[in-house]
Amino acid sequence: LAKTTQPISMDSYEGQEVNITCSHNNIATNDYITWYQQFPSQGPRFIIQGYKTKVTNEVASLFIPADRKSSTLSLPRVSLSDTAVYYCLVGPWMDSSYKLIFGSGTRLLVRP
């Protein structure tokens, strides 16, 4: 499985756009890039997933360059409730035997 590297922590203020970058240099052809959000004492929650280029949903955008060796999760106009840990996962998502392995994640703190 592709190894991922993310910043350990990030600080932001309410209303700002937050971009969290994940490096995955050895991403494989069949690998997808998936981001999860986790609040304290809760299970992770799916945010967004992509394979290449840009994906946008009601919560976030995911930017993936052509070489796919990195990806950036963009959270527009964050609020206090976006304070959480964000995990970048890279793996063969369509493979039913794929085991989701979590890295250290990025702890985002949104300040008033």
What residues line the site for another protein (CB under 8 A)?
Answer: 32, 34, 38, 41-46, 49, 87, 93-94, 96-97, 99-105
- Indicate the residue type of 103: G
- Indicate the residue type of 87: Y
Tell me the closest approach of the beta carbon of residue 35 to another protein, in angstroms.
11
Tell me the closest approach of the beta carbon of residue 16 to another protein, in angstroms.
25
- Which residue from 90, 21, 25, 86 is spatially nearest to 51, judged by alpha carbons? 90
Tell me the closest approach of the beta carbon of residue 91 to another protein, in angstroms.
10
Total Cβ atoms within 10 A of residue 44: 18
